[in-house]
A and B are shown apart, each in its own frame.
Chain A
Amino acid sequence: MKGEPVTNDRSNDTNDTNDTSSFRPVASANAGSIMRARQLELGRAVAQDSRERSHPRPFEVYFHVPFCLRRCGYCDFNTYTATDLGEGASRGNFANLAVQDAIKLRRWQDDAGIPTVPASTVFFGGGTPTILPAKDLIKMLDTVRSVWGLEPGAEVTTEANPDTVDDRYIATLAEAGFTRISFGMQSAVPQVLRTLDRTHSQANVVAGVAAAEKYGLRSSVDLIYGAPGESVDQWCTSVEAALDLGVNHISAYALTLEPTTKMGRLVSSGRLASPDDDDEATKYEMVDSLLSTAGFEWYEISNWARNGEVSRHNLGYWRNAEWAGIGPGAHSHYGDMRAWDTKHPRMWAKQLHSGYIPWSGTERVNAVESVEETVMLGLRLHEGLSLRKVSEQRRKAQNEDAVASSDLGTQIAALRGLVGELSSEGLVEVVDAESLRIRPTLHGRLLNDLVIERVLDAMGN
């Protein structure tokens, strides 16, 4: 559930309407070759853009496994409880399809002239990746090795439902090169777990983390706060239970209610209490304080780590790395290009069989959009965001070299003014005055949208 480049229904709708090109299955007999040609053309444009950039970005691979044992009421991820969705998109055959997708992507990169580097991280998300036999996950990891190569010391993570892994499963993964497991713990309070439709018990989580430690894997747990009916004390209990596990990485997310989910419908019909921003703010402040006391440091708004055990894969998303997303609904970033795979596994498989990459849409971000992304992602991070750097990046992208340097000075002065305001309002702290690197304070993390908006405004974006 964490680390997953998958959109929900709503975002996919938005994406589809904004397609610059669509790769939906075409009915004609030579559909495959038509689509391959279109994808290649797009790839060449992206390659051109990549060559103009001086140093290559890190490359990551994400696998989306769209299967679950059961669907949780709050979840709007692209996942299915059926074992076979047609066109070969079954649990048993999924790894084979993912391997095909990876091979096609690499061929596309080569044909288009997009430079590749070995993957620095691999992440299996879902759905429930551990619903598949360990050998299937290993097959996919091996494919990354053979297709792109794996950097020495690469981070390889899988998400795990505490119910689906046992000692042997974890041992097998460790042996094959997995380095990290992220457990979907969510809560330690049975009542809250029931509200969330989770079937596991805290004992399973304890056993899973112990097994991971035994075989040398790092562990992380995910927590959710703000479930309907969850008290502040219950939340405190869950955080303390997570700390008791001895893990060095914890993610905590506010429950996000999507109207299309079962829980969304229950809330809008008044049968379930609506999550409350103030309650969530209180719980965020609480988890931040409990974790800091225990020696954790936040490195992203919803992520805390100890001993430097950050999720490098997820950091890549916020630092604008490139990544290949493999699996139904997965998103990919190649240079300035964004692509997203077809959501339904059957259609996704059908596209693969037709011989092309199963994208349902793509988009290329322009200079303005690229600044938006950099700002909104950078301001989520403890390392912060250098406003001077973004400002220069924007000018460069817009070919404003001709603009007199005094104008750049004016903008920097304006940004400096903004930084003064934001820090006097307690929203950011200044990490480095010269580069105008700022980091959100606790207050600024909670009001992150506001900070983003003010920074973008000041940039004239």
Chain B
Amino acid sequence: MNQKNQPGSTDQSLIRNFCIIAHIDHGKSTVADRILQLSGIIPEREMRDRFLDRMDIEQERGITIKSQAVRVPWTVEGTEYTLGMIDTPGHVDFTYEVSRALAACEGAVLLVDSTQGIEAQTLSNLYMAMDHDLTIIPVLNKIDLPSAEPEKHAEEIANLLGIEPDEVLRVSGKTGEGVKELLDTIVAQIKPPHGDAQAPARALIFDSVYDSYRGIVTYIRMVDGEIHSREKIRQMGLGTAHDPIELGVISPDMVPTTSLGAGEVGYIITGVKDVSQSKVGDTITTEKNSASEPLEGYRDPQPMVYAGLFPIDNAQYPDLRDALDKLKLNDAALVYQPETSVALGFGFRCGFLGLLHMEIVSERLSREFGLDLISTAPNVHYEVTTEDNKTILVKNPSEFPDGKIKKVVEPIVTADIITPKEFVGPVMDLCQEHRGQMKNMEYLSTERVELHYVMPLAEIVFDFFDQLKSRTKGYASLDYHEAGEQAADLVKVDILIQGEKVDAFSSIVHKDKAYAYGVMMTKKLRKLIPRQQFEIPLQAAIGSRIIARETISAMRKDVLAKCYGGDITRKRKLLEKQKEGKKRMKMLGRVEVPQEAFVAALATNDSTDKDTQDKIRAAARKDS
């Protein structure tokens, strides 16, 4: 298909830049695919499901992590328009990426699953889009499904937006029904960009990725003026200047162009490989005729959750550093600094936006960079004041001061949970167990309730989300935002193996939960550490006070009963195999601990078997 509007020579009035706000699984990628297909830029035979999700992990998990910006032609009544479609992630951890995408758009499609209704995260992204003054186009998806309830959910959305229910569009990404109307509505309702085409060039960097062949690919949204492919550019924030190697648009593959004009979305490659040289949120201008004021940048996202990442093979430490440097490039929220652990060796203490962010980073490190990692349990940061009035910022349990503590302050969040009303009870119980304080509760419709809580962030980062899902059969959704901090009765629980403190297992927990943590960890370790020549005590302690204890009894027998003829060769080969296995053992004092034990002990799931729960309950009765 020949397109009339070419990059660099497309009038702003013909451009519509928009993003799609949707919850995971609400079918955003399917609708996006359908748009690409209808526009004709992807030949039918190349159409691949979920074209925009490039990374393996995204395809597998069905979630979108990195936003992509695609240029799509669409003709209404004989006029060809150019749509800039910016894909956004849908998970709670990725709010900051959503806000980048929003800053590059004039409109947002609010996509809601007509079998599910709106979810907490979508709601918060919707409010964010409204704050950015974006035109909102509400759409119900999956209307082809028998369980779809478009009337009911249209009502819900209409209430939220103050519109009529019949203004909510209905589409099916699967069958394509309604997608054409959606595109027409986008052209009709979303405002064209209104930058100053004659002014000095200003472009917003809203994303960048590292390509091992081409270096850094920077995604930009032109606001004012234009950039030519042979023009030297300058990053205003960093103050660096580069000659672009390539300028282009994504449609749907990378298409080089000679220029990009005001309102257009595209990419720049400068050949730079140093990841620190492309800062998301920075403004790009031309070296000649530079703009005087940069655009308003993004707020740097703040890490909320910390964990140590350690290579299982310590020789991989430099590789881990390189890999983190590369991920950091398009993941501004990832922060890290070197850390040394007695138990785990050299690694990095990393800050993440949330648990999924952490999980995705570790998965990308292992998948894309071939690293074999151990991750410590996630924690938040604390402000600890000691008796002598010294205040220490603790981002790692090992930094928690010994001795008397006057005050510990922890971050808190407001948590919004949307759930079908029959699960209100279980959700309230769960929040209660996690030290939540209920603020209020409102009915979104006759069926669904939104609960507002204030909770310690630390309670959310451990296993709250998984439990929420399991207690509501997957129906509840969660969104949370920082809401300051509070003083709380927190202690550090250490785990000792044969009297030696194992830093990787220390945890800062509420006083009431210290015993449960101690019991859980010591029991877990008892199962994970193989018996050895001597008895191994496993203890949990607060300071010098032991709160839980398990014992691994001494191994009594390891001998092979028979060793005749052919057994000899077999036994020798077994010995050699065991020698290899030893290399994966860590020595803690005299105790050999297999790497697998660290990995398993630090995993957050299956943390409480029935026996442990009984033990904890019994202790609780004793206390009260």
Say whether, besides A7-B570, A284-B557, A301-B559, A453 and B578 are in contact (CB < 8 Å).
yes
| Interchain CB contact (< 8 A) of A450 among B558, B563, B569, B570 | B558
- Select from chain B the residue with minimum beta-carbon distance to A361: B569
Say whether, besides A318-B563, A372-B575, A277 and B568 are in contact (CB < 8 Å).
no
Q: Is B367 at the interface (CB under 8 A from chain A)? A: no
Q: Is B393 at the interface (CB under 8 A from chain A)? A: no
Once the chains bind, are B555 and A277 in contact (CB under 8 Å)?
A: yes
What A residues does B562 contact at CB under 8 A? 2, 253, 256, 302
Once the chains bind, are B565 and A6 in contact (CB under 8 Å)?
A: yes
Once the chains bind, are B561 and A302 in contact (CB under 8 Å)?
A: yes
In the assembled complex, how far is the CB of residue B584 from the closest CB belonging to chain A, in whole angstroms? 15
Once the chains bind, are A331 and B563 in contact (CB under 8 Å)?
A: no
What B residues does A314 contact at CB under 8 A? 564
- Select from chain A the residue with minimum beta-carbon distance to B558: A449
What A residues does B566 contact at CB under 8 A? 4-7, 11, 325, 329-331, 340
- Select from chain A the residue with minimum beta-carbon distance to B570: A11
Of the listed residues B560, B563, B569, B579, the one surrounded by the most CB atoms of chain A closer than 10 A to its CB is B569
Once the chains bind, are A380 and B570 in contact (CB under 8 Å)?
A: no
Report how far A10 CA is from B568 CA in the complex, Å. Answer: 13
Instruction: Write 7 A-B pairs (CB below 8 A) sorted by A numbering.
Output: A18-B573, A330-B566, A372-B575, A446-B559, A449-B559, A453-B575, A456-B575
What B residues does A6 contact at CB under 8 A? 565-566
Once the chains bind, are B576 and A372 in contact (CB under 8 Å)?
A: yes
What B residues does A372 contact at CB under 8 A? 572, 575-576
Once the chains bind, are B559 and A325 in contact (CB under 8 Å)?
A: no
Once the chains bind, are A447 and B557 in contact (CB under 8 Å)?
A: yes
What A residues does B567 contact at CB under 8 A? 5, 7, 11
Once the chains bind, are A450 and B533 in contact (CB under 8 Å)?
A: yes
- Select from chain A the residue with minimum beta-carbon distance to B562: A253
Contacts A15-B570, A302-B562, A373-B568 given; 16 further ones with Cβ under 8 A?
Answer: A2-B564, A4-B564, A5-B567, A6-B565, A8-B570, A14-B573, A18-B573, A253-B562, A330-B565, A365-B572, A377-B563, A448-B560, A449-B559, A449-B578, A453-B578, A456-B579
Q: Is B556 at the interface (CB under 8 A from chain A)? A: yes
Once the chains bind, are A15 and B575 in contact (CB under 8 Å)?
A: no
What A residues does B572 contact at CB under 8 A? 365, 369, 372-373, 376
Name A338-380 residues within 8 Å CB distance of B: 338, 340, 363, 365, 369, 372-373, 376-377, 380
What A residues does B558 contact at CB under 8 A? 277, 446-450
What A residues does B559 contact at CB under 8 A? 301, 445-449
What A residues does B533 contact at CB under 8 A? 425, 447, 450
Q: Is B132 at the interface (CB under 8 A from chain A)? A: no
Q: Is A267 at the interface (CB under 8 A from chain B)? A: no
Report how far A277 CA is from B564 CA in the complex, Å. Answer: 21
| Interchain CB contact (< 8 A) of A5 among B561, B564, B573, B575 | B564
Q: Is B571 at the interface (CB under 8 A from chain A)? A: yes
- Select from chain B the residue with minimum beta-carbon distance to A314: B564
Say whether, besides A277-B557, A281-B557, A448-B558, A376 and B573 are in contact (CB < 8 Å).
no
- Select from chain A the residue with minimum beta-carbon distance to B531: A277
Q: Is A103 at the interface (CB under 8 A from chain B)? A: no
Once the chains bind, are A281 and B556 in contact (CB under 8 Å)?
A: yes
Report how far A445 CA is from B556 CA in the complex, Å. Answer: 10
Report how far A302 CA is from B562 CA in the complex, Å. Answer: 7
Say whether, besides A281-B557, A425-B533, A453-B578, A3 and B569 are in contact (CB < 8 Å).
no
- Select from chain B the residue with minimum beta-carbon distance to A300: B563
What A residues does B571 contact at CB under 8 A? 376
- Select from chain A the residue with minimum beta-carbon distance to B534: A425
| Interchain CB contact (< 8 A) of A317 among B557, B563, B570, B575 | B563
What B residues does A338 contact at CB under 8 A? 569
- Select from chain B the residue with minimum beta-carbon distance to A427: B533
What B residues does A448 contact at CB under 8 A? 558-560
Report how far A447 CA is from B578 CA in the complex, Å. Answer: 15
Once the chains bind, are A447 and B561 in contact (CB under 8 Å)?
A: no
Once the chains bind, are B564 and A3 in contact (CB under 8 Å)?
A: yes
In the assembled complex, how far is the CB of residue B228 from the closest CB belonging to chain A, in whole angstroms? 63
Once the chains bind, are B569 and A447 in contact (CB under 8 Å)?
A: no
- Select from chain A the residue with minimum beta-carbon distance to B532: A450
What A residues does B555 contact at CB under 8 A? 277, 447, 450
Once the chains bind, are A446 and B556 in contact (CB under 8 Å)?
A: yes
Report B42-54 CB contacts with A as 1/0, cut-off 8 Å.
0000000000000
Once the chains bind, are A446 and B570 in contact (CB under 8 Å)?
A: no
Report how far A169 CA is from B575 CA in the complex, Å. Answer: 42
What A residues does B561 contact at CB under 8 A? 253-254, 256, 301-302
What B residues does A302 contact at CB under 8 A? 561-562
Report A417-442 CB contacts with B as 1/0, cut-off 8 Å.
00000000100000000000000000
Once the chains bind, are A317 and B565 in contact (CB under 8 Å)?
A: yes
Report how far A14 CA is from B576 CA in the complex, Å. Answer: 12
What B residues does A7 contact at CB under 8 A? 565-567, 569-570
Name B559-612 residues within 8 Å CB distance of A: 559-573, 575-576, 578-579
Report how far A448 CA is from B533 CA in the complex, Å. Answer: 11
Report how far A377 CA is from B564 CA in the complex, Å. Answer: 10
Q: Is A452 at the interface (CB under 8 A from chain B)? A: yes
Name B535-561 residues within 8 Å CB distance of A: 555-561
- Select from chain B the residue with minimum beta-carbon distance to A17: B573
Q: Is A278 at the interface (CB under 8 A from chain B)? A: yes
- Select from chain B the residue with minimum beta-carbon distance to A425: B533
| Interchain CB contact (< 8 A) of A15 among B557, B564, B569 | B569
What B residues does A425 contact at CB under 8 A? 533
Once the chains bind, are B569 and A11 in contact (CB under 8 Å)?
A: yes
Report how far A148 CA is from B568 CA in the complex, Å. Answer: 25
Q: Is A280 at the interface (CB under 8 A from chain B)? A: yes
Name A292-327 residues within 8 Å CB distance of B: 301-302, 314, 317-318, 323, 325
What B residues does A380 contact at CB under 8 A? 563
- Select from chain A the residue with minimum beta-carbon distance to B533: A450
Report A375-402 CB contacts with B as 1/0, cut-off 8 Å.
0110010000000000000000000000
Once the chains bind, are A10 and B570 in contact (CB under 8 Å)?
A: yes
Of the listed residues B556, B558, B564, B572, the one surrounded by the most CB atoms of chain A closer than 10 A to its CB is B564
Q: Is A62 at the interface (CB under 8 A from chain B)? A: yes
Once the chains bind, are A331 and B565 in contact (CB under 8 Å)?
A: yes
Report how far A330 CA is from B563 CA in the complex, Å. Answer: 14
